[in-house]
C-alpha cells in the first residue's frame, strides 16, 4: 500500500476517532460527514480530478469521464460536487478560518493578500527538483522571480539550460533567458507556459533535452488511462519516435510527425492528458529544435560524449505532475 494512501487513511481514521467525522459531529444532530474509502485502484494521474464527477466512479475503472459543465450544481450522482486540490483545502483554515491568527478571518485574508501579486495573491508550495543544490518543497509567495527561487534552492555549479516551471506537462522554458520570469499564474502564462502544479524541474547544460522529453513521454505513455484514442495511441507513438531520435535513428521528418501528432491530439480527448503530453513535445521542439536536429544529423546523442559524460550524471526528467 502506498505511503500516501496509508497516511490518508490514517488521517481519516484519526478524524473519526476525534469525532470530527461520522454521524452527528460536534454534537449537532443530523450533521453527518462521512469520508468514503479513497479508491484503491491505481488511478492515472489526471484521472482523479474528473473522475470524482463520474456517475460510474465506483463501477468503472480509473478513467476520466466527460466532466459536467458545472459540478458545483450537478456533479457526482447528479448532486452538487466540489472537487479541490489538497493545497486549496489545506490553505482554507489559514485564510478564512483565521487559523493561527486567533480566529480572525479578516486578518487571515489580509495576511493572504499581503503575499504574492495583485492578481495572484498568496503562497504556493513550489516543488523544486533537478539541478539545484537543495531540491525540495519551498513555500514562496506567488510572483517570486524564477532566478531568486533557484538561488534560494542553492543554485548550481554549472549553467542551467532549461526549466519546466509547472509540472511535467507545462511547456519548457530556456534558461538563462527566462530567469526573470515571475512565477505566478499570469507571469508564466505570459511566458507561454503555466504554473500548473508548481513543480519546478531545473536542468543544467548536461541534460539532453531529447532524453528528458523521452523520459517525460515514457511517463505519459505509462500513465495514459487508454480511454480516448488520441491519447492512448499518441502517447505510445510519441514515446517511440523520441526514443528513436535519442538512440540516433531519427529522421528529420520525425519532428514534423511529432508536431503533427501533437496537433491532432490536443483538444481531442476527454481530459487534458493529451495537452499534457503534447505541450512538452511542442515546446521542446520549438525551443530546442537544433538539439533534435543534431541528434538526427549526427545519428547519436551529442551530449553522451560531451558535457554530460564529464559530469557523470543522468538527465533529470519528469518530476511531480
Q: In 81-228, where does DSSP find H-type helix?
A: 86-95, 105-113, 146-152, 185-190, 209-223
From the list 8-16, 60-68, 110-118, 142-150, the region that binds other proteins by CB under 8 A is 60-68
When asked if residue 6 is in the footprint of other proteins (CB under 8 A), the reply is no
Smallest gap from residue 172 Cβ to other proteins (A)? 23
Smallest gap from residue 223 Cβ to other proteins (A)? 7
Smallest Cα–Cα separation from 301: which of 288, 320, 286? 288
Smaller CB separation from other proteins, 90 or 189:
189
When asked if residue 169 is in the footprint of other proteins (CB under 8 A), the reply is no
| Rounded CA separation 234/221 (Å) | 8
When asked if residue 299 is in the footprint of other proteins (CB under 8 A), the reply is no
Choose which of 44, 75, 165, 319 interacts with other proteins (CB under 8 A).
44
Query: In the block, which residue shows the cell 516551471?
Result: 165
Smallest gap from residue 39 Cβ to other proteins (A)? 15
- Dihedral sign, CA of 195, 200, 205, 207? negative
Smallest gap from residue 81 Cβ to other proteins (A)? 18
When asked if residue 296 is in the footprint of other proteins (CB under 8 A), the reply is no
Restricting to residues 242-261, name those near other proteins by CB under 8 A.
244, 251, 253, 257, 260-261
Smallest gap from residue 227 Cβ to other proteins (A)? 4
DSSP-derived 3-state class of residue 255? helix
Q: Residue 122: which region, alpha, beta or left (left: phi > 0; alpha: psi -120 to 50)? A: left
**DSSP character string of 200-226:** EEEEETT--HHHHHHHHHHHHHHH--S
Smallest gap from residue 189 Cβ to other proteins (A)? 16
Smaller CB separation from other proteins, 145 or 268:
268
| Rounded CA separation 175/47 (Å) | 32
Total residues binding other proteins (CB under 8 A): 38
Give the distance between the most distant pair of CA atoms in the chain. Answer: 74
| Rounded CA separation 276/161 (Å) | 22
**CB-based contact 139:145 (threshold 8 Å):** no
Choose which of 170, 212, 255, 265 interacts with other proteins (CB under 8 A).
265
Smaller CB separation from other proteins, 142 or 265:
265
Smaller CB separation from other proteins, 50 or 308:
50
Restricting to residues 181-240, name those near other proteins by CB under 8 A.
221-230, 232-237, 240
**CB-based contact 187:170 (threshold 8 Å):** no
**CB-based contact 5:15 (threshold 8 Å):** no
Smallest gap from residue 273 Cβ to other proteins (A)? 10
Smallest gap from residue 251 Cβ to other proteins (A)? 8
| Nine cell digits for residue 320 | 511531480
- Site residues, other proteins (CB under 8 A): 44, 59, 61, 63, 65-66, 221-230, 232-237, 240-241, 244, 251, 253, 257, 260-261, 263-270
Amino acid at each position: 500500500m502506498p505511503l500516501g494512501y496509508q497516511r490518508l487513511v490514517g488521517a481519516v481514521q484519526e478524524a473519526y476517532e476525534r469525532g470530527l467525522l461520522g454521524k452527528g459531529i460536534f454534537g449537532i444532530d443530523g450533521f453527518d460527514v462521512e469520508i468514503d474509502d479513497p479508491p484503491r485502484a491505481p488511478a492515472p494521474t489526471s484521472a482523479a480530478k474528473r473522475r470524482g464527477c463520474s456517475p460510474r466512479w465506483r463501477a468503472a475503472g480509473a478513467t476520466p469521464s466527460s466532466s459536467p459543465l458545472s459540478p458545483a450544481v450537478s456533479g457526482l450522482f447528479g448532486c452538487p460536487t466540489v472537487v479541490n486540490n489538497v493545497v486549496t483545502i489545506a490553505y482554507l483554515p489559514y485564510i478564512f478560518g483565521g487559523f493561527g491568527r486567533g480566529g480572525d478571518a479578516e486578518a487571515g485574508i489580509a495576511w493572504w493578500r499581503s503575499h504574492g501579486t495583485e492578481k495572484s495573491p498568496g503562497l504556493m508550495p513550489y516543488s523544486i527538483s533537478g539541478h539545484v543544490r537543495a531540491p525540495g518543497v519551498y513555500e514562496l509567495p506567488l510572483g517570486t522571480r524564477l532566478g531568486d527561487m533557484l538561488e534560494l534552492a542553492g543554485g548550481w555549479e554549472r549553467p542551467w539550460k532549461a526549466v519546466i516551471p509547472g509540472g511535467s506537462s507545462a511547456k519548457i522554458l530556456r534558461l538563462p533567458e527566462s530567469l526573470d520570469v515571475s512565477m505566478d499564474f499570469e507571469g508564466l502564462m505570459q511566458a507561454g507556459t503555466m504554473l500548473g502544479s508548481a513543480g519546478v524541474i531545473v536542468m543544467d547544460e548536461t541534460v539532453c533535452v531529447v532524453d528528458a522529453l523521452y523520459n517525460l513521454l515514457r511517463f505519459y505513455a505509462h500513465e495514459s488511462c487508454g480511454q480516448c484514442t488520441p491519447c492512448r495511441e499518441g502517447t505510445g507513438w510519441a514515446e517511440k519516435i523520441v526514443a528513436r531520435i535519442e538512440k540516433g535513428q531519427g529522421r528529420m521528418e520525425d519532428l514534423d510527425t511529432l508536431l503533427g501528432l501533437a496537433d491532432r491530439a490536443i483538444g481531442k480527448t476527454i481530459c487534458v492528458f493529451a495537452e499534457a503530453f503534447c505541450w512538452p513535445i511542442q515546446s521542446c521542439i520549438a525551443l530546442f529544435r537544433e538539439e533534435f536536429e543534431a541528434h538526427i544529423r549526427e545519428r547519436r546523442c551529442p551530449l553522451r560524449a560531451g558535457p554530460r559524460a564529464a559530469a557523470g550524471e543522468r538527465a533529470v526528467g519528469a518530476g511531480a505532475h
